[in-house]
Structure 1
């Protein structure tokens, strides 16, 4: 299997990790306030004490599995871009791998926060909540609470693809729009809305780019394909 086709499957995996993450966020985790400024650390610790494996599975899906698939997608997109826009291709690869690294790091810290809270909760719930909140803040700083790195990568990919015709025009334009939404997460007043738009838009983009890469024919370009 070629790198580009592998990247196509990886893009679909990225979409599935986002879908699974949203599904759990809006159901079982909704009462805890994840994804908002209203998160209750004490409630999270109580949840961890009862169902630690669920949070670890969630973190491992939205962060770790996503990061692994993202590396393959970044390299495949770079391969797609490099013949027409070598400079932009290198820039996109750099930002994409930075993003994947941050996502992986956020996932590792998120799982450590669950394990730490679980251990401390057996003797001191308040200390467990404080430790979890501190580690969660680090997790958010790496990527769980903003989408700067992902936004820059998607902007690079979208602009390069528009210039080179390396991706369908709709897919390239969507990358630019989703990337812009990612950058807006740095603004506190727009953080939640921009984050939601980034996540939902990224699901659609992952699906579109995945299908494009899977039907890739060596030497062919998709200037006008849907």
Structure 2
């Protein structure tokens, strides 16, 4: 049990690191030419295909794999004192894992497909790319309803089972509510969810690692 909690705690901290890395990459290094024409945009994507594919793998696929470990560890910890809530939360956690991993796979396969199409018809390729981007955003990029429900429910379960600190659990409730609110397409809500999840993952991970040593 303690070993699983330690692994889960490290996984939570690793999730926060992935979040921070994504913010840094897209904020400081990714300079997509939004005002350019289709040919120039695809030239940029082709030039940066490898790095973007790696970032997608880390940001979505690796994130989802590590998240699966965390979902298991938290469910194991909460199921004794709050069995119903923890089981419902774990269902949403598993669904979120699947959505995030699927997003990364669709993003990378879609990128390869549109780059091949862009050599023949850049305008049609741009239309396809926008459609693929919308799917990726809907599954796990811009819509965080499922992730928000997972955080919200497990925070309620932790409160009921007297696990973790109350401040952490109430903060988790806040994070979960913000995640659910991202159903409304406002970029600011997604950004608040992302930043608050960095804090929540880090705080949760530290608490799980500390408790595993007790």
Q: Do both proteins adopt the same fold according to a TM-score greater than 0.5, normalized to the shorter chain?
A: yes
User: Counterpart in 2 of 1:172?
Assistant: 169
Q: Conserved in 2, the CA contact under 8 Å of 1:55 and 1:114? A: no
Tell whether 2:211 aligns with 1:211. no
CA RMSD of aligned residues (A): 2.1
**1:41 deviation in Å?**
6.7
Partner of 1:62: 59
C-alpha contact 1:116 1:131 (8 A) present in aligned 2: no
TM-score, normalised via structure 2 length? 0.92
Cα gap change, 1:198 to 1:57, in 2 (>3 Å): same
Distance 2:36 2:120 in 1: 22
On the 8 A contact 1:113/1:135 being kept in 2, the answer is: yes
**Counterpart contact for 2:20–2:198, Cα < 8 Å:** yes
- More displaced 10-residue stretch of structure 1: 169-178 or 146-155: 169-178
Q: Which string of whole-angstrom CA distances, capped at 9 and with x for unpartnered residues, describes residues 23-57 of structure 1? A: 11112325456xxxx99876642321111011111
Match of 1:85 among 76, 82, 87: 82
Matched with 2:43 is 46
Task: Give 5+ residue unaligned stretches, structure 2.
Answer: none
**Residue in 1 aligned with 2:5?**
4
Aligned residue among 132, 137, 142 for 2:134? 137
Cα distance 1:179–1:5, how it changes in 2: closer, same or farther (>3 A)? same
Q: Does 1:112 align with 2:109?
A: yes
Q: Cα 1:39–1:141, aligned 2, differ >3 Å: closer, same or farther?
A: farther
Show the counterpart of 2:17: 16
Tell me the matched-pair count: 213
Change (3 A) 1:29 1:215: same
Residue in 1 that maps onto 2:157: 160
> Structure 1 unaligned runs (5+)?
221-226
Greater fraction of residues in helix: 2
When structure 1 is superposed on structure 2, of 198-207 and 127-136 the one drifting more is 127-136
- Higher RCO by CA contacts (8 Å cutoff, separation 6 or greater): 2
**Shift of residue 216, structure 1, vs aligned partner:** 2.0
